[in-house]
Amino acid sequence: MTSISIASTLSPAELQALSARLDGAAQEFSERSCNDYPLPANAANKAIALATLKYIESTGDYEEDWEEFADDVASAEGEIEFFDNWLMAYMGQRCKQLALGGGTPALSNAEREVISGLLELTAG
């Protein structure tokens, strides 16, 4: 399998296309029964997972106690079992924000790695 990599600098058009692909994949993957996506439990990935939880909670798509899930993420060691469709939705939103400008921080190396992994899921 060819590894997909995300450039450190993307044009607004590329970010919009990436956002659309991730948004579409989030919808498709939400209908699957297995949505596990393992993330190494390092500080950068925990920050991504926590930001994703806050984003999902803000959309009203998560009805459980997300703070309990956030505690599990924060205390995870080794690996974080996360939902691929949630990561896709959040990363799609991040790309959309970047495409629109307005001072949103650029994608971190960790975010680009997560997006690359998610795109590999959609290609398979």
42 bridge partner residues: none
- Here the tokens at position 78 are 């080794």
In a domain, 5, yes or no: no
In a domain, 107, yes or no: yes
In a domain, 2, yes or no: no
Q: Dump pLDDT digits (tens) for 61-118.
A: 766 677 788 898 999 999 998 889 999 999 999 999 999 986 677 899 999 999 999 9
In a domain, 3, yes or no: no
In a domain, 68, yes or no: yes
Tally of domains in the chain? 1
Q: Which domain holds residue 85?
A: 12-123
In a domain, 84, yes or no: yes
- pLDDT of amino acid 57: 86
In a domain, 39, yes or no: yes
Instruction: State the virtual CA torsion across 97, 124, 82, 38 in degrees, nearest 10.
Output: -120
Predicted model pTM: 0.87
Contacts for 99 with CB less than 8 Å, ≥ 6 apart = 12, 13, 15, 16, 19
**Chain Cα centroid distance, residue 80:** 13
Measured distance CA(91)–CA(95) in Å, rounded: 6
Distances (CA, A) of 112 to 35, 63, 98: 20, 28, 13
